[in-house]
Amino acid sequence: MGGLDIVVNNAGISALVALEDENYASNWRRSIAVMLTALPEVIRAAMPFLRRAAHPRILNIASTEALGATAMLSAYSAAKAGVVGLTRSLAVELGHHGITVNCICPGPIETGMTASIADADKALFARRRTALRRYGKPEEVAHVALSLCVPAASFITGAIVPVDGGLSARNA
């Protein structure tokens, strides 16, 4: 189509696996490969196009698990924390090309990954952990993503933006 202006890296897989579980090592390798290692590969492939774009943007999607932690999600948490570190590092590295690199950390959002959680359990979690006392909607994350990718966002880079209904503020 002649160009590429925006790269959005959004991948998530999750499994509750204890450190001493026999499947821990394979879960770790898969989690890191999908949620961290793949990101710079996509970005590297996109770089020739991004260098020619008028308003090049890279947006990485991490999680509030990058900012805190949950038991038996260490592979997920480590991968998402790596996304935050990658975002900051690439913001510094690519800034001289005019490429902004930012990260959104969604909290509890109604997605395919959370679809199997019972509504009553979601409601209880949200009441206890988020300031807004509810799960977010995908479009609420999408609006923040859009705001970081428009031309007017040209001076925002290296930002880590929680979209979590106040979960991280409430647990700070």
CATH number reported for the structural domain that contains residue 77 in this entry: 3.40.50.720
Structural domain contains residue 63: yes
Q: Is 76 a catalytic residue?
A: yes
DSSP state at residue 154: T
CB 52, CB 102: distance < 8 Å: no
Structural domain range at position 90: 6-170
Structural domain contains residue 106: yes
For the chain, how many structural domains are there in total?
1
CB 54, CB 5: distance < 8 Å: yes
Residues in the chain with pLDDT < 50? none
Structural domain contains residue 76: yes
Instruction: Give me the pLDDT at residue 172, please.
Output: 63
Phi and psi dihedrals of 115, rounded to 5? -60, -30
Structural domain contains residue 1: no
Out of 9, 76, 105, 157, the active site residue is: 76
Structural domain contains residue 37: yes
pLDDT 10s digits, 91-109: 999 999 999 999 999 999 9
Instruction: Give me the pLDDT at residue 122, please.
Output: 92
CB 8, CB 42: distance < 8 Å: no
| Residue 72 neighbours by CB under 8 Å, 6+ apart | 16, 17, 18
